[in-house]
Chain A
Amino acid sequence: MTFLDVLRTAIFALRGNWMRSALTSLGVIIGIAAVIVMVSVGQGTQAEIDRMVSGLGSQRLDISPGSRRTPGGARQAGSSFFTLSEGDADAIRSEIPEVQLVSGSLRGSSQIVFAEKNWASSWQGVQPDFFEINGWSLADGAWFEPQDYSGAGKNVIIGETVRRELFGEDSGVGQTVRIGRTPFVVVGVLAPKGQGGFGQDQDDVMMVPLETGRRRLLGAMGMPAGAVMQIALTVGNADDLPYVQGEVEALLRQRHRIAPGAEDDFSVRNISEIVATRTATTRLMSLLLGAVATISLIVGGIGIMNIMLVSVTERIREIGLRMAVGAGPADVRRQFLAEAMLLSLGGGVLGIAIGVGGALLVGRFSDLPTALNSQVVLLAAGFSVATGLFFGYYPARKASELDPIEALRQQ
């Protein structure tokens, strides 16, 4: 029999029991769809992490108040929330030469109003290095002038989302807006960054000079003079990072007069540690999801094997007849293998369609990042072929080993 004959015969046989064929394929459909969704989520998450690493760099340290062991420091007494100060940032800048950029920052949230438009967003009070540390660039307008920082100028640089909400198509540069009760002039618009590593909108932000934020926006919160909520710094050379981290910790302990053996009132976090944790978590998740997908494929394959065995038994007379008119064992084996392959390949194609659709839906309607590529689809197609071959071989061999005399005698 030619390949086409085998295919035609297999399609004919499967159509005769199309409901059963469809149900048998369902196992593979689910398995393959699961493989595709899982792999695309796994790859998307990994790509996100890679982007975070390259975006944030492994040259960065973040210092926040509160000890490492009590990350909920914000809920402690007010004084422990404000253990960091501009003075700390200045000291780091002047005393650790390996440090390239340093910026203390404050943050809060506030309403921003322009004409009748109104938008709730978060603001950050920043020092000049902040923009470069965080990889911001300008889409329009200008950065703050030095006197904005020194004199608490009422100027603001807005993110793309805020600009869109307030000004629509216009750039908004030069317009006067109100943040809380204070009028501000928009001097710049930040170039959009898109979604962050945790799915948040990074462009929904307003930047003001540190002093401005402290005086005009935070109001009376009983914070000590010069306090900042966070200090971010970068080093010129990634290899210096562990050394600088130790230096910063020593410097701050000294400045905060922490007795030897006592706990830090601040914590220094290395972003690469977070990334490493996240990568490990993602890998574990991918592994678990992959296992689930594999199991469902195996279950689907067993379903195919089961139905093929039933089919061989049901059609034993047909097999006998075909052998009598000249079908060799290889012909019979090919025919049943082709049926199993069609079941799994058909299931694979449908599964790929559903999986790709599912991955697109997940990417659109959930926070999970997804990445689809042709490799995933090829992998899934390969899996479905392998499933058909593996689970179809035994029934096909069984059929081919039938004795035509016995088979013809069956009722």
Chain B
Amino acid sequence: MSSDAMRPPVIETRALEKVYSAGTEAEVVALRGVSLAIAHGEFVAIMGPSGSGKSTLMNLIGCLDTPTAGQYLCDGIDVATLDREALAQLRRDKIGFVFQGFNLLPRMSALENVAMPLGYARVPHDERADRAREALAAVGLENRGGHRPSELSGGQQQRVAIARALINRPPVLLADEPTGALDTKTGEEILSLFKRLRDDGHTVVLITHDPDVAAHADRTFVMRDGELHEEGPYDTRARAHTGAGP
């Protein structure tokens, strides 16, 4: 971790602003001066109730959107000036998405789902199956490659999705309510998988509204009315005393 500490943060935002429908009656300020720095190999949770700007921040971190003002450096690259094509490239190389609803393509096998992003990264065809198998093994599903998503349990499907997120070896894993569709026990398994990935050097950014989920992270931020507050390592036991949380 010491070498990681020397590197510039993998995610760095400075006074990030996002305004929707600017200049109209329906103007919504979703982000107000959000500054955030996440170092390589950190496991960070971003919490907040719906409407807090949590999703907006996630879309910006995920390079799905560009800020109205402020600066976002994704692994050192300023996204503000990028067009849609360049943003797509940045997502492909820097961000691995994990969604609440898994978002697997139903007609493809687990292996094909995992290998799918490799096509966009122009990885030669004969390397793809091997890389996908490796990624599946990394999430403990080496024997499930031929199964369709419908033949897998929810936890297994989310593992396939995580393998897909890892396939292009991005520095950042961005997980949006990854346990939201899972029971508590399966959710715990997915969270320990994230911790293991963190230990392997991945940066994990977890978006959640659930304090019990956020408690697994090393650092926790809370979004409130478009502003970001750091809450430190989240302690579920301390919650009762401090009164923090949603």
A residues with a Cβ closer than 8 A to B are 1-2, 4-5, 9, 12, 16, 317-318, 321-331, 404-405, 408
Contact = CB atoms under 8 A, between A and B. Distances in A.
B155 interface: no
Given A2-B122, A405-B65, A328 B88 contact: yes
16 contacts: A5-B119, A5-B125, A9-B119, A318-B105, A321-B105, A323-B64, A324-B91, A324-B97, A325-B97, A325-B168, A326-B117, A326-B121, A326-B168, A327-B92, A328-B89, A331-B120
Contacts of A324: 62, 64, 91, 97, 103
B120 A405 contact: no
Interface in B138-172: 164-165, 168
Contacts of B125: 2, 4-5
Q: Which of B84, B85, B93, B99 has the most CB of A within 10 A?
A: B84
B120 A327 contact: yes
B59 interface: yes
A281 B59 CA distance: 67
A405 B88 contact: no
Interface string B43-70: 0000000000000000100101100000
Contacts of A325: 91-92, 97, 116-117, 120, 164-165, 168
Contacts of B121: 326
Interface in B97-142: 97, 99, 103, 105, 107, 116-117, 119-122, 125
A326 B85 contact: no
A90 B119 CA distance: 88
B59 A405 contact: yes
Contacts of B120: 1, 322, 325-328, 331
Contacts of B116: 322, 325
Nearest to B167: A325
Given A324-B91, A326-B120, 5 more contacts: A324-B97, A325-B120, A325-B168, A326-B89, A331-B120
Contacts of B99: 408
Contacts of A327: 88, 92, 120
B93 A326 contact: yes
A2 B126 CA distance: 13
Nearest to A400: B84
Nearest to A6: B119
Contacts of A322: 116, 120
A330 B86 CA distance: 11
A321 B103 contact: yes
Contact of A330 (B64, B85, B91, B92): B85
Contacts of B165: 325
Contacts of B59: 405
A25 B77 CA distance: 46
Nearest to B90: A326
A326 B92 contact: yes
A16 B85 contact: no
Nearest to B96: A325
B91 A1 contact: no
Contacts of A330: 85
Nearest to B65: A405
Contacts of B64: 323-324, 404-405
A155 to B, nearest CB: 81
A397 to B, nearest CB: 13
Given A1-B119, A1-B120, A2-B122, A328 B103 contact: no
Nearest to A324: B97
A381 to B, nearest CB: 28
A323 B125 CA distance: 20
A170 to B, nearest CB: 70
Nearest to A330: B85
A15 to B, nearest CB: 9
Q: Which of A12, A328, A405 has the most CB of B within 10 A?
A: A328
A329 B91 CA distance: 13
Contacts of B103: 317, 321, 324, 408
Contacts of B164: 325
A327 B59 CA distance: 16
Nearest to A315: B105
Given A318-B105, A408-B99, A329 B88 contact: yes
A326 B88 contact: yes
Contacts of B93: 326
A269 to B, nearest CB: 70
A331 to B, nearest CB: 6
Q: Which of B84, B85, B119, B121 has the most CB of A within 10 A?
A: B119
Contacts of B97: 324-325
Nearest to B121: A326
- A-B pairs, top 3 by smallest CB distance, nearest first, are A326-B92, A328-B88, A325-B117
A329 B116 CA distance: 16
Nearest to B161: A321
Contacts of A1: 119-120, 122
B53 to A, nearest CB: 14
B105 A328 contact: no
Contacts of A323: 64, 88, 91
Contacts of A2: 119, 122, 125
A4 B122 CA distance: 11
A405 B56 CA distance: 10
Contacts of A317: 103
A323 B116 CA distance: 11
Given A5-B119, A404-B64, A405-B59, A329 B85 contact: yes
A12 B119 contact: no
A330 B88 CA distance: 10
Interface string B159-191: 000001100100000000000000000000000
